[in-house]
Structure 1
Amino acid sequence: MTNEELQNLVEKVSSDVFGRPFLHQAVFNHRLKTTGGRYLLQSHNIEVNKQYLEVFGEEELIGIIKHELCHYHLHLLGKGYKHRDRDFKRLLKEVNAPRYCTPLPNKKTKRKIRQLIYQCTVCSFIYIRARQVNTSRYVCGKCKGSLVLKGEKSEQK
């Protein structure tokens, strides 16, 4: 789906569901990661996350469009357009729009956590740290002995 097709879909949903025209721009924003879409107060434009169309299909996209159009129409009418406002919640129910969009599946790869192992030369106490320790400046907290870097282990998170 292109931006022009999205614009036409938003205009159609606005006139069919809300009975009001959508007179501004609707575009896909590829930088959106954690939200399905957003309504911009200054320009009155709507931005939509294209990943929701690709992952969940057009039905989820229409739900996101309805949600953003609720913000749009209420803001232009001077009514409560924020998530916590009674007018917004009422309009969401009237047009059967979702309050929240379905979360995208998590594609993050597990990152490795580096852990440095230091050991006291006197009492043999082991310290595990994420950050490197300056061994010429810091000493053992138990016996004041010098610390030596013993090794490094990695953990999946």
Structure 2
Amino acid sequence: MTTMKDAQQDKENNLESWTDTSLSSRVAQKWGKKFSNTNLFYLHSPQSLAYRKGIRDENKLKNESNSNLDWEIILQSTKSLSISDSQSKSVEKKETVTRNSTQYLQHLEEVSNSPPSFITPYCVRGLQNTEEVVVLRKFKKNREDLLKQLYNFYNERVFSKQLKETLVSTCWSKTLNTTAGRTCFQNKRLDNNQMERTVSIQISIKVVDRGERLLSTLAHEMCHAAQWIIDGVAKPPHGREFQRWSEEFKKTLPFVQVNVKHSYNIVYKYIYFCQSCGLQYGRHSKSIDTCRQRCGRCKGQLILKV
């Protein structure tokens, strides 16, 4: 026979062990049958209250877990979408940049692998003799404008417009007979007693008589001008600074050849030849007196070739 104390102890034990066993099994042990979850809410016993509290806690946990799961899914989907979108945009942007850079490089190759259009008609390479004479006459007529245009072209492409026209002067020279070009370095004193480096470039009329020679000669002289104005170096004339600018020409404008010395076949108006050894002397004027002067090699008689 159980006492009140034992019944109270059993009741406390049932409450303590409520979380360890299911509600239906506990009810079956106490009342001999099982109840559904909805019917258990109507039991007027401490177990029903505990059960409702447990259901609320369980639903709360489920809701929290579901909400966390939903947010995780949303975040993952959003993240994946944003990453894919950003990747697609970056890939598209990279393709656009690559395409634009390729087109720009192709444009540079087209421009840099051929002389500029304004001087191409004045080049005589591959022409016949009759065509060459016409081109030479045309070049002589337009050489002033060609020199200015080519100088601006080189200054923009190779020297980034650092050789300003106020610092560099260009002209055609009638006194240079065998030299294609000459660059004179100068120091100009300003009003504030500061010194300014200036350059005078002279191109020979008698040697540079066609477009391809003007391309190479002006590039050579502008390298000298750059080493003086930009680098502040005058000697040696074909030193490290000169070589650096000539390499810049090769990178930017490969069709231009910057040589230290030229080997142009100069077209002379008058030709003298020796009767003994056959050596020829070219002159732009009748500067040799055949009666007084002799051949420098064999001292033979010189005759003007007509």
* TM-score, with length taken from structure 1: 0.60
In the other structure, the counterpart of 1:89 is 243
* Counterpart residue number, 1:40: 184
Q: Does 1:31 align with 2:31?
A: no
Does the 8 A contact of 1:37 with 1:64 survive in 2?
yes
Indicate conservation of the 8 Å contact 1:70/1:91, yes or no. Answer: yes
Amino acid in structure 2 at the alignment position of 1:75: W
Residue of structure 1 equivalent to 2:132 = none
Within 2, Cα distance between the matches of 1:38 and 1:8?
19
What are the Cα deviations for residues 97-151 of structure 1, in whole angstroms up to 9, with x where unaligned? 22222333363522669xxxxxxxxxxxxxxxx9xxxxxxxxxxxxxxxxxxxxx
1:7 counterpart residue number: 148
Provide the C-alpha distance between the structure 2 equivalents of 1:10 and 1:69, rounded to a whole number of angstroms.
Answer: 8
Q: Which one scores higher on RCO, CA 8 angstroms, separation ≥ 6?
A: 1
- Determine which structure has more spread, i.e. the larger CA radius of gyration: 2
The match for 1:79 is 233
Contact (CA 8 Å) 1:3, 1:26: kept in 2 or not?
no
Q: Is the 8 A contact 2:180 2:208 kept in 1?
A: no
Deviation, structure 1 residue 155: 2.6
Query: Is the partner of 2:261 in helix, strand or coil?
Result: coil
Q: 8 Å contact 1:72–1:81 — kept in the other structure?
A: no
Per residue, is there more helix in 1 or in 2?
A: 2
The one of 59, 80, 83 aligned to 2:212: 59
Between the aligned partners of 1:83 and 1:100, the Cα distance in structure 2 is 12
Q: Which moved more, 1:79-88 or 1:30-39?
A: 79-88
Measured against aligned partners, the alpha-carbon deviations of 1:49-97 in whole angstroms (never above 9, x if no partner) come to 123442xx21221111111010101101213564341221232233132
Quote the offset at 1:17 in angstroms. 2.1
User: Aligned AA for 1:18?
Assistant: F
Amino acid at match of 1:9: L
Q: In structure 2, how many angstroms separate the alpha carbons of the residues matched to 1:51 and 1:91?
A: 27
Q: Report the Cα distance in structure 1 between the residues aligned to 2:146 and 2:235, rounded to whole angstroms.
A: 26
The 3 A distance-change label for structure 1 pair 67 and 81 is farther
| Structure 1 pair 12–106 and aligned structure 2 pair: CA distance change class (3 A) | closer
Gaps of 5+ in 1: 114-129, 131-153
Q: How does 1:71-150 map to 2 (within 5 A)?
A: 71-77=224-230, 78-79=232-233, 82-96=236-250, 97-105=258-266, 107=268, 109-110=271-272
Which region of structure 1 is more displaced relative to structure 2, 60-69 or 1-10? 1-10
Distance 1:12 1:62, change over 3 A: same
State the 1:33 CA deviation. Answer: 0.8
Distance 1:35 1:53, change over 3 A: closer
Letter in structure 2 aligned against 1:103:
Y
AA of the residue aligned to 1:32: L
TM-score in terms of structure 2 length = 0.33
Number of aligned residues:
117
- The change in CA–CA distance for 1:84 and 1:2 in structure 2 (over 3 A counts) is closer
Name the structure with the higher strand share.
1
